[in-house]
Amino acid sequence: MKPNETLLNTAETDKLLFDQMGDDHASSAINTPLRADAFDIDDDTKIARIAENFREIMHTLGLDLTDDSLKGTPYRVAKMYVNEVFSGLNPKNKPEVALFENKYRYNQMLVEKDITFFSNCEHHFVPIFGKVHVAYISSGYVIGLSKINRIVQYFAKRPQVQERFTVQIANELMRVLKTDDVAIVVDAAHMCVSSRGVQDINSKTVTSHYSGKFADEATKGEFLKYLTLE
């Protein structure tokens, strides 16, 4: 089979799948879907391959890649994908978190709110952005505040679904903090909603996770009250 025929057959298969699914693209996978060989090649090779393929996308769209403004774009996009916006795919970039004994014996909830994040929708590869609010109750250990931000950013820097993003943050915090007492609220805007399709620029999506003591309505209510404070 010739290369062009392969491309056409792949495109036809993709179109058939889209016609069948439409915008019904929910995923129940907690882990980001990755192939077993996802990290068999190094980052430099990934950048070179992505640049080559993105150059072809631009060429197919009819753009003049000899133009001074465009000729460096394929490499810039590839480098951005691998080293920045999708760097959270690689487990080597997972933040190292040190636990400290809770010497202050602080046994109330700790809340860190308004953590800004930028991610990308895995269905259209356009931005998701917003804020994450986190709370936990120590089981005897604490972590540095900046580590909470780093955990959020790690899971944001990959193609994402907001529901999965919320659960991944919660699971990681429960693991590193050795506690089930964790609450997460994610409030985000999706460019796949505002810049295409229905083009609703005002709507936002809110997801949450409450476990352990935060499943109690009073504890949950206290956490949510803090989110309304200026």
pLDDT tens-digit readout, 47-101: 999 999 999 999 999 999 999 999 999 999 999 999 999 999 999 999 999 999 9
Is 208 in contact with 185 (CB distance < 8 Å)? Answer: yes
Per the annotation, the verdict on 124 as an active-site residue is yes
Per the annotation, the verdict on 122 as an active-site residue is yes
Residue type, 216: D
Residue-averaged pLDDT of the chain: 90
With both helix axes pointing from N to C terminus, report the angle between 162-177 and 145-156 in degrees, rounded to the nearest 10. 140
Residues in the chain: 230
CATH classification (class only), 100-227: alpha beta
Domain edges within the chain: 32-85, 100-227
> Hey, how many other C-beta atoms are within 10 angstroms of the C-beta on 125?
13
Check residue 42 and give its pLDDT: 96
Check residue 165 and give its pLDDT: 97
Check residue 9 and give its pLDDT: 62
Q: Which pLDDT band, with edges at 50, 70 and 90, does 37 fall under?
A: very high
Per the annotation, the verdict on 121 as an active-site residue is yes
Active-site pick, 133, 153, 190, 209: 190
State both tokens at 64.
């003049």
Check residue 229 and give its pLDDT: 74
End-to-end C-alpha distance for the chain, whole angstroms: 63
Per the annotation, the verdict on 20 as an active-site residue is no
Active-site pick, 121, 153, 160, 168: 121
Using alpha carbons only, what angle is made at residue 10 by residues 8 and 14, rounded to the nearest 5 degrees? 115
Q: Out of 2-16, 119-133, 175-189, which region has the weakest mean confidence (pLDDT)?
A: 2-16
State pLDDT tens for residues 189-224.
988 776 776 677 768 899 999 999 999 999 999 999
Q: What is the CATH number of domain 32-85?
A: 1.10.286.10
Cα(192)–Cα(124) distance, rounded to whole angstroms? 7
Per the annotation, the verdict on 112 as an active-site residue is no
State both tokens at 3.
């290369």
Check residue 192 and give its pLDDT: 76
Active-site pick, 162, 168, 172, 209: 162
pLDDT of 174 > 90? The answer is yes
Check residue 144 and give its pLDDT: 94
Active-site pick, 133, 153, 168, 192: 192
CA-wise closest residue to 122 among 222, 29, 228: 29
Per the annotation, the verdict on 52 as an active-site residue is no
Over range 32-55, report the average pLDDT: 97
pLDDT of 5 > 90? The answer is no
Cα(161)–Cα(149) distance, rounded to whole angstroms? 19
Q: What is the share, in percent, of the chain residues with pLDDT greater than 70?
A: 85
Residue 22 DSSP code:
T
β-strand 159-160 against 205-210: which pairing, if any? unpaired
Is 74 in contact with 58 (CB distance < 8 Å)? Answer: yes
